[in-house]
Structure 1
Amino acid sequence: MIATTPADILRFALDRSREGAGTILVTLTAIEGSSPRAIGAQMAVAEDGRYVGSFSGGCIEAAVVAEAIGTLADSRAKRVRFGAGSPYLDIRLPCGGGIDLLFNPRPDPDAIAGVLCRHDRRKPAALRLAEDGVFLEAVSEGDCADWRDGGFRLYYAPTLRIVAIGQGEELTALARLAKSYGADVSLLSPDERALADLTAEGFDTVRLTVRTSLPPVRTDAWTAILSVFHDRDWEEELLPLALRLPSFYIGAIGSRRTQDIRLDTLRAAGVPEDLRRKLRTSVGLIPATRDPATLALSALSQIVQEYHRIGCISASSDEAADAYAQHDDLIDQALRA
């Protein structure tokens, strides 16, 4: 993994709390001008000075750690401005902006454990960070990172999951890049050589043996599905089945001409229009890629962009998560059969 995730920060805070160490959650709650991090970014600081997360390229982290440790004395939450408009005249952000940080000393470990439990079950979760503590709350309509109900509410989405179907170097390049980014990756392929390599690297792999059915595969509202087949015989049978799986993104690589033929084939196969509309007819942010590494980067960039767009959720998202959990129960039954 190339960078710390929100779940890593919460796990650090929970582990230090369970060790008996004083711990502080620090949250970016407002920005004036520009900032290297978005609202909702966090750090977790332990009383011995260890920390995870960041708010800049290293220019204010030492000051944040010192401020955080200072809050342990009276265990009271506080907000502090850093950068433009801050009382700390010698601490500046390189972008010239200002950020407000909320310090919550000794956050409730049960609340943090609750978020991580839901995260492990691929369900969204929310914390309310207030002057009187840190609280696990039900996910509600429009949850984002913002002030509401007497505190700063912070929404935690399940980890991005990518299900890649295909073969060859396109599959292996996408798998390795997505794993480095931090996504959960599942791979389906008839390519025994590629699967052997990827299985040895610790990937979740499933060998495709027939063209007419998909093996059990776990997907949900935070899953992207991508076909990287060049063999259209496989794709023509499997893509209509993949379109019926829960996902926020589904695409298949190919030129504009290939995409037109693909849509015509789906129409001729009787795939309903609402499912055909789910299919991305342009995969990736870099046009006309010609090598596996660039294709993987292009496709992953588009998938991550779309994943972040669903960061603020609707009231139906928790219900959707329950529906996908039922879908997973059916998958479990199929795997045990």
Structure 2
Amino acid sequence: MNANVILPAPVRALPTDDPEQILAFAADAMLQGVKVALATLVAVRGGAARSLGSQIAVASDGRFCGYVSGGCVEAAVASEALLAMSAGKDQIVKFGAGSRFFDIVLPCGGGITIAIHVLKDVSVILQTLELLNKRLSAALRYSPCGQILDLVPSGGRPRWIGGDFVTVYHPRPRILVCGETVEAMAVASIGKAAGYDVVRTGQGRKEMSASIDEFTAVVLLRHDLEAEQATLNEALRSSAFYIGALGSTRTHEKRVQRLQANGWSSTDIDRIKAPIGVFGPTRDASSLALSVMADVAASRLAASYEDRR
């Protein structure tokens, strides 16, 4: 690299850790003719604020988005990415414990390794975004030796395979909210604020069924067991990672009896979290909504942990 080259100062363009938004930022910049580097967390030593596969996209004009830590090294990572783009060569850089940057210390006391790849082709990013838009998982395999990024079949967790690192992407989590109650409106509001794809029921049965996949939580917030039945049946037939229903213990006993009479097995019925939420009983919509979203988030994390094992 020419020592006389003056690089721009890193500036956070978007405060997000959402993988889809990070890839979209990279794609948009490249389509505008701006060089982009993708920095990926590929190793952790000790404690760390982020999981393997976390990323930062850095544009050659200094803009960046994403996180690989709690916010303490992101600007330094962006600076290293700018150097990599200027030199036209990928880099593997360590921060925290075991790093050459003695003045950059991670609060957790651990260390992280970041693989910085200078993107050569936007097509692989666009293909990944297309899969996520179709609510399909995707994976990118990075070869440090070849400095190549390829789209590969998804599955498993972010990991090293031989000398290559695979980053796995899943669609944005969805929450399907059943009900026209004030509780349903509160859950939908908090779900949107938490970054979930929120779907309200009320459409036709076929459309509702298409909205439920393995990345979906189904939340039944009706005060009438008859009114919730159609959605509950669809949820139990689906691969939804969470099914929760409003009502007291006594109400749920009646729900169980109805389901048993309709031929649902104990295994199916046990998927239903009722009474819904992590704390209760609640007496107002906002408290219930917080309880429900905490329960959904905990179930999502548990499912992700099982995927990483």
* TM-score, normalising length: structure 2: 0.86
**Counterpart amino acid of residue 277 in structure 1:** D
Residue in structure 2 matched with residue 186 of structure 1 by the alignment: 199
Provide the C-alpha distance between the structure 2 equivalents of 1:272 and 1:35, rounded to a whole number of angstroms.
42
User: Residues 25-59 of structure 1: CA distance to partner in whole angstroms, max 9, x if unpaired?
Assistant: 00111112222222211100011110001233432
Provide the C-alpha distance between the structure 1 equivalents of 2:165 and 2:232, rounded to a whole number of angstroms.
42
Percent of aligned pairs with the same amino acid: 35
Q: In the TM superposition, what is the alpha-carbon distance from 1:263 to its structure 2 partner?
A: 1.1
2:64 aligned with 1:73? no
Mapped contact 1:174–1:296 kept (Cα < 8 A): yes
Tell me which of 98, 106, 111 is aligned to 1:93: 106
Mapped contact 2:178–2:231 kept (Cα < 8 A): no
User: Residues 276-319 of structure 1: CA distance to partner in whole angstroms, max 9, x if unpaired?
Assistant: 233223532224232211211221222223223444787xxxxx
Counting only pairs closer than 5 Å after superposition, residues 278-293 of structure 1 correspond to structure 2 as 278-293=271-286
Gaps of 5+ in 1: 190-205, 209-213, 315-337
Residue in structure 2 matched with residue 137 of structure 1 by the alignment: 152
Q: CA 1:176/1:285 → structure 2, altered by over 3 Å: closer, same or farther?
A: same
Q: CA 1:113/1:149 → structure 2, altered by over 3 Å: closer, same or farther?
A: farther
Residue in structure 2 matched with residue 47 of structure 1 by the alignment: 60
User: Residues 110-168 of structure 1: CA distance to partner in whole angstroms, max 9, x if unpaired?
Assistant: 1111110100111110001221211111124xx21111142110110111111111122
- Secondary structure of the residue aligned to 2:130 is helix
Tell me which of 249, 255, 259 is aligned to 1:256: 249
Q: In the TM superposition, what is the alpha-carbon distance from 1:83 to its structure 2 partner?
A: 1.0
**Counterpart amino acid of residue 181 in structure 2:** G
**Counterpart amino acid of residue 199 in structure 2:** S
Q: In the TM superposition, what is the alpha-carbon distance from 1:88 to its structure 2 partner?
A: 0.5
**Counterpart amino acid of residue 119 in structure 1:** L
Larger CA deviation: 244-253 vs 41-50: 244-253
- Secondary structure of the residue aligned to 1:99 is strand
Count residues with an aligned counterpart. 290
- Secondary structure of the residue aligned to 1:73 is helix
Tell me which of 194, 213, 216 is aligned to 2:207: 216
User: Residues 197-229 of structure 1: CA distance to partner in whole angstroms, max 9, x if unpaired?
Assistant: xxxxxxxxx3x8xxxxx4631221211111011
**Counterpart amino acid of residue 183 in structure 1:** Y
- Secondary structure of the residue aligned to 2:167 is strand
Q: In the TM superposition, what is the alpha-carbon distance from 1:274 to its structure 2 partner?
A: 4.0
Provide the C-alpha distance between the structure 1 equivalents of 2:213 and 2:100, rounded to a whole number of angstroms.
46
Residue in structure 2 matched with residue 301 of structure 1 by the alignment: 294
**Counterpart amino acid of residue 300 in structure 1:** M
Residue in structure 2 matched with residue 334 of structure 1 by the alignment: none
Gaps of 5+ in 2: 1-13
* TM-score, normalising length: structure 1: 0.79
Counting only pairs closer than 5 Å after superposition, residues 146-185 of structure 1 correspond to structure 2 as 146-185=159-198
**Structure 1 residue ranges, 4+ long, deviating more than 6 angstroms after superposition:** none
**Counterpart amino acid of residue 105 in structure 2:** R
User: Residues 165-209 of structure 1: CA distance to partner in whole angstroms, max 9, x if unpaired?
Assistant: 1122110001111111111111125xxxxxxxxxxxxxxxx3x8x
Q: CA 1:160/1:58 → structure 2, altered by over 3 Å: closer, same or farther?
A: closer
Q: In the TM superposition, what is the alpha-carbon distance from 1:241 to its structure 2 partner?
A: 4.2
User: Residues 58-112 of structure 1: CA distance to partner in whole angstroms, max 9, x if unpaired?
Assistant: 3222211111111113332221111122111111112222111111112531111
Provide the C-alpha distance between the structure 1 equivalents of 2:16 and 2:280, rounded to a whole number of angstroms.
27
2:15 aligned with 1:24? no
- Secondary structure of the residue aligned to 1:72 is helix
**Counterpart amino acid of residue 137 in structure 1:** V
Mapped contact 2:16–2:22 kept (Cα < 8 A): no
Provide the C-alpha distance between the structure 2 equivalents of 1:225 and 1:125, rounded to a whole number of angstroms.
23
Mapped contact 1:21–1:46 kept (Cα < 8 A): yes
Residue in structure 1 matched with residue 11 of structure 2 by the alignment: none
